[in-house]
Structure 1
Amino acid sequence: MFDWLIVGAGFAGCVLAERLASQRNEKVLLIDRRSHVGGNAYDFYNEAGLLIHAYGPHIFHTNSAQIVDYLSSFTEWRKYSHRVLAEVDGKLLPIPINRTTINVLYGLSLSDDAEVAAFLASQAEPLDSINTAEDVVVSSVGRDLYEKFFRGYTRKQWNLDPSQLDKSVTARVPTRTNSDDRYFTDRYQIMPKHGYSRMFHRMLRHSNINIMLQVDYADIRKYVPHRRLIYTGQIDEYFDFCFGRLPYRSLRFDHVTLDKTWHQPVGVINYPQTHSYTRVTEYKHLTGQEHRKTAITFEYPTDMGDPYYPVPCPDNQTLYKKYEELALKAGDTWFVGRLATYRYYNMDQVVGQALATFRRLDETLPRQAQPFANVPSAVRSMQNDQLSAVGGK
């Protein structure tokens, strides 16, 4: 009998597995469909020995000292300030839009915040209400910058026009009047020194944690006795899509190794106007690795494949609320993470949500005094030596 079955070995599942095992001395079985832990943050060394992110760039940033302190138990850090350029009208320009972006794009020489603010105000189209992703941008920077930087990129990313998407989509990207070219302004902008997989490997070392990979929850749930469940997968799938499927966007990745030291001046270049891919990432900027070759990844948004992004629009939120009502009635089951709560969370937000969930559980649930029973033979036969397969190189 496991105290906990945790479905999904991304940030949410791994954090909760570690907390339950180390702080409550409870026995956890952590499962995942994939052949590795770490979810979309999984990284690995490719054939050339370059550390790359399997599912596109994952940049850690947060304002929470508590979250950094927690993760610091499992990794050292390297400082990294992420910078992104967008190829617009044949020029590589800083994104988020800042003073340099505007000066280079329009051939201006704006010299201070007030001049930039005045320029943006002259371009903006005031609206009575802000409801969509298009409204956010047009009302703050005007239609020309919206068309150049946002509309094409958003349509590729979501296969919807910004006028059809919730305002949260473009509200995530600020506009600056200064020359700060960092993509994020959080207090902590850091990367795991030896990669995310090494961090997850250390997080899951506890003897109370068992791991089973390449297994589906629907196939195993009848064979694994467990007292309680934490589910971090798709909430609609858990309830057998009884109200219909929640829409997600996925990504296809084209990983390429180049026989040269560097390919581009920053970690990520966005392509809002050209190409079918949205962006190109060069990982050595992110990892700090020194290598005579370099690795890049092209990202192609698609409706097929693993779910990455909940599609933020009113109809989808209405559908999610139906599943949320079922989730609130599910006994001894907790739904945590991006897919289970149909929210676009950053990594630090998922960690924060998982830590908060643990605190609530720890405050309300009695601790188990019953000793851990033997793992059922049916489970042992399915593990196939996977229990230690949790890390990168």
Structure 2
Amino acid sequence: MKRTPSGSYDYLIVGAGFAGSVLAERLATQLGKRVMVIDRRPHIAGNAFDHYNEDGVWVHRYGPHIFHTNAQRIVDYLSQFTEWRPYEHRVLAQVNDQQVPIPINLTTLNMLYDLDLDETQAAEFLTSRAEPVENIRTSEDVVVSQVGRELYEMFFRGYTRKQWGLDPSELDKSVTARVPTRTNTDDRYFTDSFQIMPKDGYTALFENLLAHPNITLQLGVDFEAVRDQVDYHHLIYTGPIDEYFGYQLGKLPYRCLRFQHETLNQEVFQPVGVVNYPSEDVPYTRITEYKYLTGQQHPKTSVTYEFPTDQGDPYYPIPRAENTELYRRYRALANATPGVTFLGRLGSYRYYNMDQVVGQALATFEYLAEAHAGDSLAPVDETRVS
């Protein structure tokens, strides 16, 4: 990449996903800053990228992205760039030759055990199977203490081992701490106040976010190739924090994904948008059918099989104490590096939902705006804005 004729940018933003694109929009429109956004991929929208495949079916290239939030301010902000369609996500799990709702609810229990429980009886059933754990430290502890070992084995152990490449007994309790168990028949995967999808898709939303004359976009560009060729005052880095520092303290472990996309000559493949496969005998963790998510009408349908792996693009920071400690050491390096702000999942080494990334980016913008008002651009401490 060559320098632009006008010479320099106020900000160079690495990454055209939610974190980078939201900050670019705010800096350009609210502060009048000149911003260059680069991404090593040939498209915008990061992992939320969606498109029409060669058969004309609307798909998510990097697996299902479901927007849900309780934050009115996040919805209000994004509504400037998209209209919405309502979508309540439902997931089934393939267990014992049948597909049952997950999270576990009243219907799940009645189907699995051929019972006719009501809500009170379902609560008593789960209590009778729960195994008290004095000191809850791991993901296994969380689930076993809530639903007992049998349901843990059915739904969680195999799925977690495939997803993370580790047994739940080796993973921090945060992995399953937010997994709900319900005693009613609510079969929605999420219970957030807002459960919606961009009407025209995520890519269109990002096109609108980045459609400002102060924003220059360069795709298929790696930061290392241009870091000394672009003049800029401040860097926003949403890539892996350890990569920025040349892995000098060691690599932060991530779990990666491989996607197998297929288009089928039929209108519908499965009864819901996602079916999980907890059994370790099945190599993939889930199958997604996108027409449920997008609402598209089409004579064909597209599905994606998801295979967790150790190789490929980083997706999920692995929540273990030693990894958190290594990240803290990189965080200290970051805080001692002037003129650079790290954020997003990879820059923060933390699993964020999409609304959380947007919230972090908006909070970071407010911090930067205050710094501009004081004519200071000290490194942003991620713990203050996440």
2:71 is matched with 64
Identify the match of residue 257 of structure 2 among 251, 254, 257: 251
2:383 is matched with none
Identify the match of residue 281 of structure 1 among 256, 263, 288: 288
1:172 Cα deviation from its structure 2 partner: 2.7
User: Tell me, what secondary structure is at the counterpart of 1:185?
Assistant: coil
Matched, 1:83 2:86: no
**TM-score of the two chains, using structure 1 as the length reference:** 0.92
Inter-partner Cα distance in structure 2 for 1:27 and 1:272: 48
Inter-partner Cα distance in structure 2 for 1:270 and 1:136: 20
Inter-partner Cα distance in structure 1 for 2:178 and 2:51: 29
1:175 is matched with 181
2:208 is matched with 202
**TM-score of the two chains, using structure 2 as the length reference:** 0.94
1:366 Cα deviation from its structure 2 partner: 3.7
**Deviations for 1:246-287, whole angstroms, at most 9, x for unmatched residues?**
000110001100000100000000000141000000000000
2:221 is matched with 215
Inter-partner Cα distance in structure 2 for 1:365 and 1:314: 36
Identical counterparts, % of pairs = 62
Matched, 1:189 2:201: no
Inter-partner Cα distance in structure 2 for 1:361 and 1:355: 10
1:167 Cα deviation from its structure 2 partner: 0.7
User: Tell me, what secondary structure is at the counterpart of 2:144?
Assistant: helix
1:107 is matched with 114
1:107 Cα deviation from its structure 2 partner: 1.2
Q: Which ranges of structure 2 fall in alignment gaps of 5 or more residues? A: 1-7, 376-386
In the TM superposition, 1:279-318 aligns within 5 A as 279-318=286-325
Inter-partner Cα distance in structure 1 for 2:348 and 2:211: 27
1:127 Cα deviation from its structure 2 partner: 0.9
In the TM superposition, 1:346-385 aligns within 5 A as 346-366=353-373
2:25 is matched with 18
Contact 1:149/1:272 (CA < 8 Å) preserved in 2? yes
Matched, 1:138 2:117: no
Matched, 1:30 2:37: yes
Inter-partner Cα distance in structure 2 for 1:124 and 1:366: 55
User: Tell me, what secondary structure is at the counterpart of 1:276?
Assistant: coil
Inter-partner Cα distance in structure 1 for 2:199 and 2:227: 36
**Deviations for 1:201-260, whole angstroms, at most 9, x for unmatched residues?**
011000000011111111101000000010000000111111100000110001100000
Aligned length: 367
User: Tell me, what secondary structure is at the counterpart of 1:146?
Assistant: helix
User: Tell me, what secondary structure is at the counterpart of 2:255?
Assistant: strand
Inter-partner Cα distance in structure 2 for 1:202 and 1:51: 19
Counterpart amino acid of 1:358?
F
Matched, 1:121 2:121: no
**Deviations for 1:11-58, whole angstroms, at most 9, x for unmatched residues?**
000000000000000000000000001000000100111110000000
**Deviations for 1:156-184, whole angstroms, at most 9, x for unmatched residues?**
00000000001111123211111100000
User: Tell me, what secondary structure is at the counterpart of 1:365?
Assistant: helix
User: Tell me, what secondary structure is at the counterpart of 1:100?
Assistant: helix
User: Tell me, what secondary structure is at the counterpart of 2:218?
Assistant: strand
Matched, 1:236 2:214: no
Contact 1:24/1:367 (CA < 8 Å) preserved in 2? no
User: Tell me, what secondary structure is at the counterpart of 2:217?
Assistant: strand
Identify the match of residue 163 of structure 1 among 161, 169, 183: 169
User: Tell me, what secondary structure is at the counterpart of 2:81?
Assistant: coil
1:290 Cα deviation from its structure 2 partner: 0.5
Inter-partner Cα distance in structure 2 for 1:216 and 1:286: 32
Counterpart amino acid of 1:151?
R
Inter-partner Cα distance in structure 1 for 2:121 and 2:363: 43
Inter-partner Cα distance in structure 2 for 1:137 and 1:97: 11
1:117 Cα deviation from its structure 2 partner: 1.2
**Runs of 4+ off more than 4 Å:** none
RMSD, aligned CA: 0.9
Matched, 1:225 2:231: yes
